[in-house]
Amino acid sequence: MLFMTRDWSMRKRRPVRRKKIAPLLLNLEEALNIDLQVDGAFLEMAEFGPWTMVLVDKVAKAIEVQNEDLERFVFLTLRGFMEHDDAAKWVEVDHGAIPFLMKGADCMIAGVHGADPTVEEGDLVWIRDMKHKRPLAIGWATMNAEELVNGSKGKGIKTLHWVGDELWDMEL
């Protein structure tokens, strides 16, 4: 599994037509139960390290990543989740977990207080704070929703992207 490093940079940035990436966007909308509303937007794709990014009006809104089995997944970035805080595949954490997540730490299940019931082991999930529902990080779930909420110790989510990382701080 690949984790973000400081030496990743954006490469091969290019405009794309909506119809070219329509299947990718449709899969993302169905997986998260959202409407991306990209009609008329300026769409671009770029590489960021081994990931592929989708930029909507010059903002990185989605990334395509691979899991350990080399299966490809498309998921919103944290900037994308800021506009879609009603999206599925969420996990809520308490205030005590936030400082650790902001440094890129994996999410321990002791801090988890709620989860979308559709979350399964191996899913890409987004982590939000339980009070304000703001996105904090995305990562791979290591167990299902019930185990995340009812467990008492262990790693619940392997963090992939968080507020304050290189992708978050990227100037476009």
CATH number of 87-167: 2.30.130.10
Calculate mean pLDDT across residues 122-133: 94
Rounded Cα–Cα distance for residues 23 and 122 (Å): 22
pLDDT reading at 1 higher than 60 = no
Q: How far apart are the first and last CA of the chain?
A: 26
The predicted structure's pLDDT at residue 134:
95
pLDDT reading at 6 higher than 70 = no
Spatial contact of 144 and 151, defined as CB atoms under 8 Å apart: no
Domain formed by 10-82, architecture = Roll (3.10)
* DSSP secondary structure code for residue 105 in this structure: P
The predicted structure's pLDDT at residue 5:
54
- How would you class 123 by CB atoms within 10 Å of its CB: exposed for 0-12, middle for 13-18, buried for 19 or more? buried
Closest CA relative to residue 53, chosen from 81, 70, 74, 32:
74
Query: What is the location of CATH 3.10.450.120 in the chain?
Result: 10-82
Confidence of residue 142 (pLDDT cuts 50, 70, 90): very high
The predicted structure's pLDDT at residue 10:
86
The predicted structure's pLDDT at residue 71:
85
Rounded Cα–Cα distance for residues 158 and 151 (Å): 16
The predicted structure's pLDDT at residue 30:
92
Query: What is the location of CATH 2.30.130.10 in the chain?
Result: 87-167
pTM over 0.85: yes
Closest CA relative to residue 139, chosen from 117, 120, 122, 115:
122
Exposure of 41 in the CB half-sphere (CA atoms within 13 A): 19
Q: In what order do the strands lie in the sheet containing 10-15?
A: 10-15, 43-48, 51-56, 59-66, 72-76
pLDDT reading at 3 higher than 80 = no
The predicted structure's pLDDT at residue 7:
66
Averaged confidence pLDDT in the chain: 90
Q: Report the share of the chain in percent with pLDDT over 70.
A: 95
Calculate mean pLDDT across residues 126-143: 95
Tens digits of per-residue pLDDT, 72-118?
889 999 999 999 989 999 999 999 999 999 999 999 999 999 999 99
The predicted structure's pLDDT at residue 171:
66
Tens digits of per-residue pLDDT, 49-73?
888 999 999 999 999 988 888 888 8
Which residues have CB under 8 Å from 41's CB, separation 6+?
Answer: 56, 57
Residues belonging to the chain: 172
DSSP output for 88-107: SSEEEE-GGGHHHHTTTPPE
